[in-house]
Structure 1
């Protein structure tokens, strides 16, 4: 089977190669999943570069999200059979044609959901849901701010906010992305290249202080956002697209009661109970299957074209996820 492998950390174009390896066989309590689609997330590329929060043991295969069909079942497995469509949960190394997964780390693909959508279920829809409702406890009528609003996750946040009556202010870097974001359903858009965040927040929300925000950019944008929030605000940081630290004012932390905390989906999977995990994923699966939540897909590439796919995934102004198929 084909597998994308890197033996050292570095730029994907230098270290990532497509190799032909034997298909793995499932052991006790395991199944083999023939993958139909895999998403490319920033964390995947950062892992290859050795810049992510956890480095895999080398040699390694990138990828954290995928969807496919069971094509072999190991001894002792009950409840799963060959031919069932599934989403592996928390299984690393998805950028290959097949993976081995514990039977307990599978979710049945919601009926009618194609692999190119199902393979996106974990990183973006799940993170958006957790950020909005678990970490910020957003309710109908609340005001929430998000940066990187044009990203796939940002667009899902727009959809979730609208479904639940949450007022969402969407912050993006360039004015060139405003129309596309409004076409995606955004009502309030703020552009950092030529607008002051605090002034625009007041213009949009009036005297209502903005006390709930999520940031995927960090750096200068994250610092400006922290400064523009109201008294007692919570800022959840879940990404660092700028690859720069957030400059924080100690006075605002002390005298304005600002709380800044991080979120890493890997930790959520590690600490959430099985009941919580299944309930949350079930809710998201229903939203995806019903079409109420629609992750945008911009392009699909074969595994052999991974270099072009990665370049595309990092292209400024991209409006949908890049998917690896084959």
Structure 2
């Protein structure tokens, strides 16, 4: 089978290779999944560069997310069937043609969703939903301030705001994306090139600042979000795109009783019960099916063209996922 591998950490376009390796076989209580679709996420590229919170032993196959069809079942499997579309969780890298996972870690996908949306159902929709509803518990009518608002998670936050009744203040780097986000339902938009973020947020909130903020950038952008928190406000840091540290004035934390907290989807799954995981996916599948959390697709590349695909994924000229297929 074909597998994308890397034997050293580095720039993805330089270190990734496509190799032919033996396909795995399912053991007892396992299923063999033929992976059909794999999105390229920033977290995948951080892993390849050696900059992620958990790194594999090398050589390794990247890829946290994908969807495929069960093509083999091991002894004792009674609740999964050949031909079933599933999301394989916990597989050691999905940028290959076949993976083996425990049967109960192969999440069945409703027929109305399809493999493209199934392949992108885990990382971004779950991140947006869990941060907003479980960790922050955003109340209707409140403001949520976020940077990287044109990212897929940012777009999901905007859509969930409409569904759950809160309002968003959306910070972007490029003014040309603002009309698209406005059409998506963004309440307020701030281009970092044109405006002072903290001053604009305070103007929008009557000088109070916001109770909730989501930072996926870090550096100066994340620091501006932190400075926009009001009394008792909380900012979740769930990404570090800039690769730069936050600068936080201690008085902001002290006198406003504000807090800044890291948030990682991996930790949620490590601590979740099977029932919580089942409930999460039932919720996400419903929101995907009704269009609330639909992920736009920017381009598709065959698995063999992975180097071109990772370059395209980092250009960010279009809002949407770059997929590896085949």
Shift of 1:90: 3.1
Q: List aligned pairs for 1:13-24, cutoff 5 A.
A: 13-24=13-24
Q: Give the ranges of 4+ consecutive aligned residues of structure 1 lying more than 6 Å apart after TM superposition.
A: none
Size of the aligned set, in residue pairs, is 326
Q: List aligned pairs for 1:68-107, cutoff 5 A.
A: 68-107=68-107
Q: List aligned pairs for 1:132-147, cutoff 5 A.
A: 132-147=132-147
Contact conserved, 2:142 with 2:211, CA < 8 A, in 1? no
Relative to structure 2, which stretch is displaced further, 282-291 or 121-130? 282-291
Partner of 2:57: 57
TM-score (norm 1): 0.97
State yes or no: 1:320 paired with 2:323.
Answer: no
Partner of 1:227: 227
Shift of 1:8: 1.2
Shift of 1:317: 4.1
CA distance in 2, matches of 1:93, 1:271: 21
Shift of 1:49: 0.9
Relative to structure 2, which stretch is displaced further, 253-262 or 288-297? 288-297
Give the secondary structure class of the aligned counterpart of 1:314.
helix
State yes or no: 1:122 paired with 2:122.
Answer: yes
Partner of 2:245: 245
Contact conserved, 2:29 with 2:75, CA < 8 A, in 1? yes
Partner of 1:292: 292
Q: What's the CA shift string for 1:171-224, capped at 9, x where partnerless?
A: 111222212222332221111122112221133333553111110000011111
Shift of 1:292: 2.8
Contact conserved, 1:143 with 1:166, CA < 8 A, in 2? yes
Give the secondary structure class of the aligned counterpart of 2:231.
coil
Q: List aligned pairs for 1:188-267, cutoff 5 A.
A: 188-206=188-206, 209-267=209-267
Contact conserved, 2:32 with 2:73, CA < 8 A, in 1? yes
C-alpha change, 1:136 and 1:31, in structure 2 (3 Å) is: same
CA distance in 2, matches of 1:18, 1:123: 24
- Point out where structure 1 has 5 or more consecutive residues left out of the alignment: none
CA distance in 2, matches of 1:278, 1:142: 29
Relative to structure 2, which stretch is displaced further, 37-46 or 186-195? 186-195
C-alpha change, 1:5 and 1:147, in structure 2 (3 Å) is: same
Contact conserved, 2:300 with 2:325, CA < 8 A, in 1? yes
CA distance in 2, matches of 1:220, 1:91: 36
Partner of 2:172: 172
C-alpha change, 1:205 and 1:252, in structure 2 (3 Å) is: closer
Contact conserved, 1:303 with 1:325, CA < 8 A, in 2? yes
Contact conserved, 1:238 with 1:262, CA < 8 A, in 2? yes
Q: What's the CA shift string for 1:123-146, capped at 9, x where partnerless?
A: 000000011111110122111111
CA distance in 1, matches of 2:291, 2:250: 44
C-alpha change, 1:246 and 1:119, in structure 2 (3 Å) is: same
CA distance in 2, matches of 1:165, 1:208: 20
Give the secondary structure class of the aligned counterpart of 2:53.
coil
Give the secondary structure class of the aligned counterpart of 2:315.
coil
Relative to structure 2, which stretch is displaced further, 240-249 or 179-188? 179-188
Partner of 2:6: 6
The two structures, once aligned, show a CA RMSD in angstroms of 1.3
Shift of 1:86: 0.7
Give the secondary structure class of the aligned counterpart of 2:230.
coil
Give the secondary structure class of the aligned counterpart of 2:300.
strand
Give the secondary structure class of the aligned counterpart of 1:121.
coil
Relative to structure 2, which stretch is displaced further, 242-251 or 289-298? 289-298
State yes or no: 1:153 paired with 2:153.
Answer: yes
Shift of 1:324: 0.8
